[in-house]
Amino acid sequence: MNIKYISALALLLPTVVFAQGKPAQPGPPSTQPQSVVDATGKVVGEIIAGGYSGASIKYLLSTGDFVVLSATPQGLSNVGVIPLATSPTSARVYFREADCSGDAYLTLGLTPAMQFTRHQAMVLQNFFLTPPSPPACPAGPVSSDWLFVRDSLDCPYDPIFPGNAITFLAYYGLGPSPLPGCAPIPAPGLTAPMSLRGPLTIYKRVEDLAAKFKTPFFIQ
């Protein structure tokens, strides 16, 4: 090859590279967190872990604190399922009031799972404090999913100590009504300590999530 041709080509190559511009540099990753929104566009919570069928979200409370909930297109729940009881002695969640208007007393068990957060969440799904009115056609059954929260720094309530006996007048389960929810305990109620129950954790009722948000949920 002609030496003059090689020299001319060597001078031309930097010009061509410069004309093409510098290779594109990757920009900084997006810092905008994804959120779960309901059917009306209302933000439910910020996603902190996600999958194909659901996500864990940071749900803010009115106090400024937060709990972690599991979100799916169908609604919100805690990690794990609180079983519906078929009798007072098989229940996991009890109430001192016959209408379940006060604190929820949870017996020892695997659910709700303890999370790496100061405030722990419990969602009682289909927890009807009063039987709902029949929905207008063609609407489906009315839902009622109540969020309960406890502070991890609170000590469990142990009824075995003298003076700590406590009487429960209702539980979370199936009572006289065919719908699940606040089931009354016949008089004289159920008094703890109950056999092999151990300490009770106390959750405070916060709000009805089914009344606050409209399903289905989406990622935004």
CA distance 72 to 83: 19
Q: In what order do the strands lie in the sheet with 180-184?
A: 119-124, 146-151, 201-208, 104-106, 93-95, 170-174, 180-184
Q: Among 76, 208, 92, 106, which residue's Cα sits nearest to residue 147?
A: 208
User: What tens digit of pLDDT does each residue of 48-103 get?
Assistant: 998 888 999 999 999 999 999 999 999 999 988 888 899 998 899 999 999 999 99
Identify the DSSP state of 200: B
Q: Kindly report, residue by residue over 10-55, the tens digit of the pLDDT.
A: 444 444 433 444 454 554 555 678 999 999 999 999 999 988 889 9
Quick: pLDDT tens for 129-163.
Answer: 766 665 555 454 467 899 999 999 999 999 988 88
C-alpha to C-alpha distance for 173 and 126, rounded to whole angstroms: 10
Question: Whole-prediction pTM value?
Answer: 0.80
